[in-house]
Structure 1
Amino acid sequence: MRTRRRLAVRTAAAVVAGLVALLPAAVPAAADEVRAKEYWLEDYGIAEAWRSTQGEGVTVAVIDSGIDGNHPDLAGAVVGGTDASGAGDPRGQRGIGEVPGHGTLVGTLLAGRGHTDGPEQAGPSARPSGGSTAKATPARDPFGQYGEGPDGIVGVAPKADLLAVSVWIEGQNSGPNPAGVTVDEQVPAAVRWAVDNGADVINMSLGSTSTAWPESWDEAFLYAEQNDVVIVAAAGNRAGGLTQVGAPATIPGVLAVAGLDRSGVASAEASSEGISIAVAAPSENLVGGLPGGFYADWSGTSGAAPLVSGVAALIRSRYPELSAAQVVNRIVGTARDAGRPGFDTLYGYGVLDVAAAVGEDLAVPEENRLGSMAEWIQLYRRGGSAPTPLPTPPDLPAAEVIPPP
């Protein structure tokens, strides 16, 4: 009988304890101030890409702590969901685990739609503060034409739909999953559910302390590959104790995202290093939505990953005939070289260039440059035998469609 190794998985926020400390102290700015902080929209070619695509018709599954679909910037964006942990909301819309607000931060960066004339709110506070004295500084938003309104956060793919898939990531504050379902079990169940319920892209802003992954994950990631789904994963953060990239970012074919600081240089704190990194995207000075309609400044490759997942959604929307492998190759092939010439372990193939990735007349190879899970399984798990995916286990509820508010 093989001894089963338990994989320690963390959210890829810069420092989990630091993020937890940030959330109670976060005092959201007025919505126009929040939008003004989204420097990546202009600096990385996202606004230019919006002239041709905003993610229409694409569904992205966010495997995370759960998403608050009632956040004003996500109104109508979360169209379904589930809980893979056994401890969360059946629709995946209640935050659970070590950082309950993590999934909402990720979801708003990916597919936030903004809103119009939302009331300014005081942020959640650990103790009564007498209210915020911050003054709104109205500014004309150059991106106000996108999304559902000029206020709040507009994500990279503001017209994409989201699936909220909650998993329990344990930590010092949350403890183990009260339902007893391990991460080894939650992750493959979440991936398979996402595939079966129409995900074109899967975002995984979580990372582990090991480059290896449980064998129980193999068939789920193979299933996603065989069903033409793009998977994007955060590389992890050095400041959070992940000095090297860990699974799932090390899985063949998965698009692993490293982090950049505000100046576009590899983040000294918010990015791990490794040979599996594909591209680098902003991971510092980010802003995202929190459950209850709040906002917070944050950092980490947890934020870099949904920016890239959003780009995958833009590409799949504009070029629906492209395979998942070709979508990955577009993102990787158009990245701007940085660091040492060619591929390196900090930037991967380079810095994300969204306008180029969604541009026209771009020839891309058909085979995923980041590898194949099918080939890996055949070589390393089965001694040359052809991999055969297992049937979908009936361990999660069917999709529950969430009507727009």
Structure 2
Amino acid sequence: MHSTPASTPLVSRAVAAAVAVLLAACCLCAGLFTAPSARADEWRDKEYWLADSGITKAWEVSKGAGVKVAVIDSGIDAQHPDLKGSVVGGYDASGSGQPDGQKSVGSKPEHGTLVATMLAGRGHQPASASPSPSPGPAVPPDGIMGVAPEAQLLSVSTWLGSANPSGKSDQDQIPEAVRWAVDNGAKVINISLGSTTPQWPQSWDAAFLYAEQKDVVIVAAAGNRVGGNTQVGAPATIPGVLTVAGLDRKNVASVDASSQGISIGVAAPAENLLGGLPGGGYAEWAGTSGSTPIVAGVAALIRSKWPDMSAEQVINRIVSTAQDAGAPGKDPLYGYGILNAEAALKADVPEATVNPLGTIAEWIRVHRRGNAAPAAPLPTATPVPSAAPTLPEATVPAAKAPSQRDSAIGAAVVIGFAVLFVVIIAAAAIQLRRAGRNGSLAVEEPDTGVMESVQAPRNQQVTEASDG
């Protein structure tokens, strides 16, 4: 289970301030090399991860039809040729005045479109292609083909990485974005954003709990070393979130494009990635920001194939079919291993009853003691068709009050310790009196247990003997 220390008011303020400064798409983007003049088909041919990660084989089973995936990022340009018809709704959590979430905002405005095309790009027919069916082989699509090309996207825009003109901080934007995505039918949420601190504001607790109780899969980026993330940062440290680490072209943990941590669930390609830019261009980029939509896309393929499968089982299917890498078993560089999309869609995987990556509900119960901050109500937005709720309104579990039997046992334990303490003090007093007569103290060597005599200084105080 992911874990971070329980918060205090002082720590909470420090964490909130740190996350507000550090949470940004730019810290997850290791490199961006734009080339808008290149032909779209040249980019399409370079998507090596589609074959290497088993995605083309997984398409024999599913392409993500009927599944909504929310992209919480800097906004998606739905007019990009490769995203035509894929964006079915959106919301502006940044407060910057663009209600459909499809205007690029923040310090990395291109980031959301890069992520979206990798996740659900549909390519496009070249201008020279015949508009009507003709004999012979079909003309392959140009542009970017995403992992789940038949999935539907919800664009939830956030303003991160620079001063937000609306004044809304990440403490408000992130939980608002998560709740809106859940309420509007998202079955998978992609968060290619992160910070350099493993802790998260308490204001996020209720929103991530809400998503967990509504059976939504959340996939988040581990972060990049080159961006200062030597360790995984929030929200990828939140229990139950599927955290994605990055690989180089040799399927080895990327030196620049991946951090490490016990919360990592799976690893996916993070170097020499390709994505679409606002306005119709393309770019080569790197980082776990791009690894994340690859895994989120596979989650969409699974949810399309098995609509009734729980989020816990979806995550378990992905991590249990991953190819082990690094140290045997789960490790802080690769998690459970390297993504294998074909196995995730075709392998016989035992049904899971719990999320192998933990649960935010249990973490809150232990660390927050039922005091998570309630989520503020969302402003009215343009309604988007959503799935009917299947679970009651999310609630924060409180620590269970002790029973009378527990109280009785606790009292007995306290009395027992008190008696033991008195006996120890009495025995110590006897030893001190003997030492005073004999002029020496008995000292036990911690490694050997051998008792040896040490001459006591004449002026030694009883308090020193008691403390020793």
Alignment TM-score > 0.5, same fold: yes
Q: Could you tell me which residue of structure 1 aligns to residue 309 of structure 2?
A: 322
User: Paired residue for 1:162, among 150, 153, 178?
Assistant: 153
Q: Does the 8 Å contact 1:91/1:400 carry over to 2? A: no
User: Paired residue for 1:275, among 262, 274, 277?
Assistant: 262
* Secondary structure of the corresponding residue to residue 208 of structure 1: coil
User: Paired residue for 1:210, among 191, 197, 201?
Assistant: 197
Return the alpha-carbon distance in structure 2 between the equivalents of residues 75 and 192 of structure 1: 26
1:222 aligns with 2:209: yes
Shift of 1:117: 1.2
Q: Could you tell me which residue of structure 2 aligns to residue 140 of structure 1?
A: none
Shift of 1:216: 0.2
1:32 aligns with 2:41: yes
Q: Could you tell me which residue of structure 1 aligns to residue 437 of structure 2?
A: none
User: Paired residue for 2:116, among 86, 102, 107?
Assistant: 107
User: Paired residue for 2:170, among 183, 186, 193?
Assistant: 183
Higher helix share: 2
Q: Could you tell me which residue of structure 2 aligns to residue 354 of structure 1?
A: 341
Return the alpha-carbon distance in structure 2 between the equivalents of residues 389 and 13 of structure 1: 27
Return the alpha-carbon distance in structure 1 between the equivalents of residues 97 and 314 of structure 2: 32
Q: Could you tell me which residue of structure 2 aligns to residue 89 of structure 1?
A: 98
Aligned-partner residue type, residue 357 of structure 2: L
Identical residues among aligned pairs (%)? 60
Q: Could you tell me which residue of structure 1 aligns to residue 416 of structure 2?
A: none
Q: Could you tell me which residue of structure 2 aligns to residue 397 of structure 1?
A: 381
Which segments of 5 or more consecutive residues in structure 2 lack a partner in the other structure? Answer: 1-7, 129-136, 386-468
RMSD, matched Cα: 2.1
1:59 aligns with 2:94: no
Deviations 1:279-317 (A, max 9, x none): 000000000000011000000000000000000000000
1:306 aligns with 2:293: yes
Q: Could you tell me which residue of structure 1 aligns to residue 438 of structure 2?
A: none
User: Bigger CA drift: 201-210 or 356-365?
Assistant: 356-365
Q: Could you tell me which residue of structure 1 aligns to residue 81 of structure 2?
A: 72
* Secondary structure of the corresponding residue to residue 259 of structure 1: strand
Q: Does the 8 Å contact 2:244/2:288 carry over to 1? A: yes
* Secondary structure of the corresponding residue to residue 288 of structure 1: strand
User: Paired residue for 2:366, among 340, 360, 379?
Assistant: 379
Q: Does the 8 Å contact 1:12/1:301 carry over to 2? A: no
Return the alpha-carbon distance in structure 2 between the equivalents of residues 350 and 367 of structure 1: 19
Q: Does the 8 Å contact 1:88/1:94 carry over to 2? A: no
* Secondary structure of the corresponding residue to residue 24 of structure 2: strand
Shift of 1:30: 1.2
Q: Could you tell me which residue of structure 1 aligns to residue 357 of structure 2?
A: 370
Q: Could you tell me which residue of structure 1 aligns to residue 59 of structure 2?
A: 50
Q: Does the 8 Å contact 1:84/1:396 carry over to 2? A: no
Q: Does the 8 Å contact 2:207/2:375 carry over to 1? A: no
- Identify if the C-alpha distance between structure 1 residues 265 and 391 changes in structure 2 by more than 3 Å, giving closer, same or farther: closer
- Identify if the C-alpha distance between structure 1 residues 313 and 15 changes in structure 2 by more than 3 Å, giving closer, same or farther: closer
Q: Does the 8 Å contact 1:223/1:389 carry over to 2? A: no
Q: Could you tell me which residue of structure 2 aligns to residue 10 of structure 1?
A: 24
Q: Does the 8 Å contact 1:13/1:237 carry over to 2? A: yes
Shift of 1:394: 2.6
Q: Which has the larger radius of gyration?
A: 2
Aligned-partner residue type, residue 397 of structure 1: A
Q: Does the 8 Å contact 1:189/1:396 carry over to 2? A: no
Return the alpha-carbon distance in structure 1 between the equivalents of residues 29 and 78 of structure 2: 25
Return the alpha-carbon distance in structure 2 between the equivalents of residues 198 and 268 of structure 1: 37
Return the alpha-carbon distance in structure 2 between the equivalents of residues 396 and 237 of structure 1: 36
Return the alpha-carbon distance in structure 2 between the equivalents of residues 50 and 80 of structure 1: 25
Q: Does the 8 Å contact 2:239/2:359 carry over to 1? A: yes
Return the alpha-carbon distance in structure 2 between the equivalents of residues 220 and 329 of structure 1: 22
Aligned-partner residue type, residue 240 of structure 1: G
Aligned-partner residue type, residue 43 of structure 1: D
Return the alpha-carbon distance in structure 2 between the equivalents of residues 321 and 96 of structure 1: 35
Return the alpha-carbon distance in structure 2 between the equivalents of residues 396 and 94 of structure 1: 19
User: Bigger CA drift: 240-249 or 3-12?
Assistant: 3-12
* Secondary structure of the corresponding residue to residue 346 of structure 2: coil
* Secondary structure of the corresponding residue to residue 207 of structure 1: coil
1:341 aligns with 2:328: yes
Return the alpha-carbon distance in structure 2 between the equivalents of residues 345 and 227 of structure 1: 28
Which segments of 5 or more consecutive residues in structure 1 lack a partner in the other structure? Answer: 120-142
* Secondary structure of the corresponding residue to residue 194 of structure 2: strand
Return the alpha-carbon distance in structure 1 between the equivalents of residues 190 and 76 of structure 2: 13
Return the alpha-carbon distance in structure 2 between the equivalents of residues 241 and 349 of structure 1: 24
Deviations 1:10-61 (A, max 9, x none): 2166556x53xx34xx334212111101001111110001011000100000
Q: Does the 8 Å contact 2:205/2:372 carry over to 1? A: no
- Counting matched residue pairs gives 363
- Identify if the C-alpha distance between structure 1 residues 260 and 360 changes in structure 2 by more than 3 Å, giving closer, same or farther: closer
Q: Does the 8 Å contact 1:118/1:151 carry over to 2? A: no
**TM-score, length of structure 2 as denominator length:** 0.74
1:201 aligns with 2:188: yes
Return the alpha-carbon distance in structure 1 between the equivalents of residues 87 and 110 of structure 2: 15
Return the alpha-carbon distance in structure 1 between the equivalents of residues 380 and 218 of structure 2: 20
Return the alpha-carbon distance in structure 2 between the equivalents of residues 282 and 333 of structure 1: 18
Please give the residue correspondences for 1:219-298 in structure 2 after superposition, counting only pairs within 5 Å.
Answer: 219-298=206-285
Aligned-partner residue type, residue 393 of structure 1: P
Aligned-partner residue type, residue 45 of structure 1: G
Q: Does the 8 Å contact 1:27/1:295 carry over to 2? A: yes
